[in-house]
Each structure stands twice: as C-alpha cells, then as structure tokens.
C-alpha cells in the first residue's frame, strides 16, 4: 500500500461533473487501485501501515489520457511544416503529393522493428509530460499488409512502456493511390475490418470524414459494417470543412467525434443528445494556422462533453505534450483550467470508453497519478511551455521520475 500525503493540492474531476481540489490532501492506493482520497490527517489515521511518500508543496493530478494520436509512422514532415510557416496550406501541400500520402510512402518502406523503435521514443516523450493512457490509430499503411504492420507495432509497444495503449483501426485515413476508391472501399469492408476484428487488433474504428477524403456516405457505410462486426466508432470530422460530420457521428452512435473545428450547431446539438464526446485538438488548428478553432464553449453550453488530445502525428501536429495542449486549449478556446483538466483526464477516458478505470483520482479507479512540483495547479497554465512534472505513478507503481531519466 502507498500513501501520498501533505499534497498542497489533490486536484481531480469527479464522475458526475464536479471538480475537486483538496488542500493538504492525500491519496492511498492498494496495489493498482485507489482506496482513499481526502485529507492527510484522515489518511494517516486510517492507513497507518501504508508506505508513506511525502509530497509537501506539490500538486497531485490524475494521469493524462491522450485520446487521439497517430503515433506509429515512418519518416517525418518537418519540410512540410516549414512550408506552412511560409504560407502554404495543408490542402495545397497534400495536393502536391505531400500530406498523408508522404507519410504512407515512408511508413510502407519502414520495417516493423524501425516503427517499433520510433514509437517507443514517442511514448517516452509523451510519458515525461504526464500521459499515462494513450489511444493509437493505424492509418499510414492504406493496404492490409501495412495496416496490419502498424497494429502489430501497437500491440508490441505494450511491452516497452508503462503507458496503457488503446488501439483504433483507421484504414480509412485516405485512399491509396494505386487503386480506385471503390476497390479500396470493398477491401476495407470485406477484408480489413473483419480481419482486424478476428485478430483482435483494435476495438475502435475511425474514418477521416472530410472534404477531399471520405464522404459522409462512404463513412456511413464503413461505420455500419464496423458496428456489425463489433467495433465502436470514433470519427475525424469537420476539420477542413463543415461536411455535417458531427451530425453523422451522432447518427451512428460514435463514442467520440474528433477535430470539429467547423462543426455546425445542428450537429453539436445532435452530439449532445446522442452523448458523443467531442475530442478537441487545439495543437492541430494552431499548427494548421487556420483562422477558426473548435467551438468548445458552444459545445459545453450545448451539453457536449469535451476531451482534449494531442493528435500527435507527423503532419498536422507534432507535439507529444498534453501540457502544451492544456495551455493552448485555455488560450485558444477560452475554456477554464478546470474544464481543460477535466477534458484531458476524465473526458479523455470517456472518449476511449475507459471512464470506469482511469481519468480521475477516485476510490476504485486505477492509481494513475501525476506529481507536479508546483504549489497550485494554476501554474500548469501560467508557466507556458515549461514542464514541472516530477513523478508519475502508473497502476500504483513508480513509472517515471524526473531525476532518474
């Protein structure tokens, strides 16, 4: 049993919507589960035999849940980012053969071992900013052989990191250039989706439903087939244009709809009614240099739960840091630190169907806890671009410490 005591603040969202800040707080865990959250006095009295860790002057938070990443890929697209800094748009670069197709070429050419090593590196980076659970999508293979390679890497990664991994099949990230759209749709529906399911390679299915990528009709077809096979749905929608993707996400009962930069009001209302979590990716709209950011406030007002994630990928957002995302979310969306922290933890867990297990410091949940060397959680927002994380406890065990890495 471990007992963290004397925390300047124990900060956590609570199931049901409240946000809790306990001063001079304590958290106690037995093996991988939380058994107590409350005052230091009470913890010391009730759990006198537990191993004590003094966290005086520090802030405890639940581990961050990064619910949207494209972590496994070959090569990089630094050149494309520099082109964007000089004024080119994402769509112009993609039309010239860059974009997703650029990474597909590099990913197909990379060996499984190479992809594994790159991905281990990315996870190590993410860990040091406090990510303890991550969702990883395939999507840079665009044929069965390469998509399978990516999903195998995702499986193998579990032996190399304390971060918990949830996988999503995103074979419908783009269309491969070597066949027709109809041919690839048939392959997705009849070969890839059933095989992913049979081989238990992913529990979620995602589609890039946007202008120039999958249409609403194509996306609906893929979702229907995926649901029939037992997948749960996540969707990339309304990132580049308002294609009524939010509406579609509600219609198919998606667990989450992601991006939503240009989502319309009707779609937002429908998402609220259907209980679809909105995964917002402020690093992406910021790095795309688009004028508009996701209408987070409107969504909250409509009753949609918002989650925050990095969208870590080589093209639109090359950031490993959930702390950066938290800061951007407040500054770009105008949401509060409490809303942002809830979105990066509990709502992120909801976006990957893990709400009962991770995302908050509550009794019965997994002991995934971040210890920050700050006197108040406000410093996570105030101290721009600086990492004040000191220690990570994942499933009740020390997973990372600043001084040992």
Binding site for ligand NIG (CB under 6 A): 70, 99-100, 103, 208, 236, 239, 284, 311, 313-316
Sequence-distant (6+) residues with CB within 8 A of 77 are 98, 102, 103, 314, 315, 318
Question: Is the CB of 170 or the CB of 299 nearer to ligand NIG?
Answer: 170
DSSP strand pairing (389-394 vs 369-372): antiparallel
56 vs 25: CA distance, rounded Å:
10
Q: Is 311 in the site for Fe ion (CB under 5 A)?
A: yes
Minimum distance, C-beta of residue 236 to ligand NIG, in the bound complex (Å): 5
Which residue's beta carbon is nearest to the bound ligand NIG?
A: 315
The residue among 282 and 315 lying less far from ligand NIG, judged by its C-beta, is 315
Say which entry of ligand NIG, Fe ion, none residue 208 contacts (CB below 5 to 8 A, set by partner kind). Answer: ligand NIG
d(CA 352, CA 182): 30
Which option in Fe ion, ligand NIG, none does residue 315 bind, with CB closer than 5 to 8 A by kind?
A: ligand NIG
CB 27, CB 36: distance < 8 Å? yes
Nearest approach in angstroms of CB 394 to ligand NIG is 26
CA quadruple 188, 171, 253, 295: dihedral sign? negative
Phi and psi, residue 20, nearest 5°: -115, 135
Q: Which is nearer to Fe ion, 242 or 311 (CB)?
A: 311
CB of 282 to ligand NIG, least distance (A): 12
Give the nearer residue to Fe ion in terms of CB position, either 311 or 339. 311
Residue 94 vs 123, nearer CB to ligand NIG: 94
Least Cα distance to 42 among 54, 27, 21, 52 occurs for 27
Size of the site for Fe ion (CB under 5 A): 1
- The CB-of-254 to Fe ion minimum distance in angstroms stands at 14
Nearer to Fe ion, 94 or 371 (CB): 94
Per-residue CA distances from 121 to 68, 112, 157, 359 (Å): 18, 14, 10, 24
Q: How far is the CB of 298 from ligand NIG (least distance, A)?
A: 21
Secondary structure of residue 201 in the 3-state scheme: coil
Q: Does 135 bind Fe ion (CB under 5 A)?
A: no
DSSP secondary structure of 233-270? EEEEESSSS--SHHHHHHHTT-SEEEE-TT--HHHHHH
Q: Interface residues with Fe ion (CB under 5 A)? A: 311
């Amino acid at each position: 049993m471990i007992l963290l005591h004397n925390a300047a603040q124990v900060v956590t969202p609570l199931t049901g919507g409240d946000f809790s800040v306990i001063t001079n707080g304590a958290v106690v865990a037995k093996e991988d589960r939380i058994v107590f959250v409350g005052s230091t006095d009470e913890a010391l009295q009730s759990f006198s035999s537990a191993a004590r860790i003094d966290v005086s002057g520090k802030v405890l938070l639940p581990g961050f849940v990064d619910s949207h990443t494209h972590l496994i890929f070959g090569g990089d697209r630094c050149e494309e980012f520099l082109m964007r800094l000089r004024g080119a748009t994402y769509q112009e670069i993609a039309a010239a053969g860059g974009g997703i197709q650029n990474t597909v070429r590099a990913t197909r050419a990379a060996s499984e071992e190479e992809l594994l090593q790159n991905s281990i590196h990315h996870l190590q980076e993410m860990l040091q900013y406090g990510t303890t659970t991550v969702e990883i999508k395939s999507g840079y293979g665009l044929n069965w052989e390469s998509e399978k390679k990516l999903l195998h890497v995702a499986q193998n990664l579990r032996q190399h990191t304390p971060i918990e991994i949830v996988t999503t099949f995103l074979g419908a990230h783009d269309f491969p250039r070597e066949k027709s759209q109809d041919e690839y749709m048939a392959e997705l529906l009849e070969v890839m989706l059933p095989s992913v399911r049979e081989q238990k390679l992913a529990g979620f299915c995602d589609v890039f439903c946007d202008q120039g990528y999958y249409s609403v009709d194509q996306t609906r077809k893929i979702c229907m087939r995926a649901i029939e096979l037992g997948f749960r749905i996540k969707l990339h929608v309304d990132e580049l244009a308002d294609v009524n993707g939010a509406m579609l996400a509600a219609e198919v009962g998606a667990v989450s709809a992601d991006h939503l930069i240009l989502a319309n009001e009707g779609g937002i209302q429908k998402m609220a009614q259907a209980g679809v979590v909105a995964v917002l990716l402020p690093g992406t709209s910021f790095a795309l240099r688009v004028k508009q950011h996701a209408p987070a406030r409107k969504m909250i007002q409509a009753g949609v739960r918002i989650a925050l994630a990095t969208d870590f990928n080589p093209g639109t957002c090359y950031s490993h840091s959930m702390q950066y995302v938290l800061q951007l979310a407040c500054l770009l969306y105008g949401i509060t630190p409490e809303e942002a922290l809830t979105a990066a933890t509990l709502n992120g867990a909801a976006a990957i169907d893990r709400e009962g297990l991770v995302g908050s410091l509550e009794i019965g949940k997994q002991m995934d806890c971040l210890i920050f060397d700050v006197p108040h959680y406000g410093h996570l927002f105030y101290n721009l671009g600086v990492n004040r994380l000191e220690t990570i406890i994942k499933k009740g065990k020390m997973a990372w410490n600043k001084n040992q890495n």
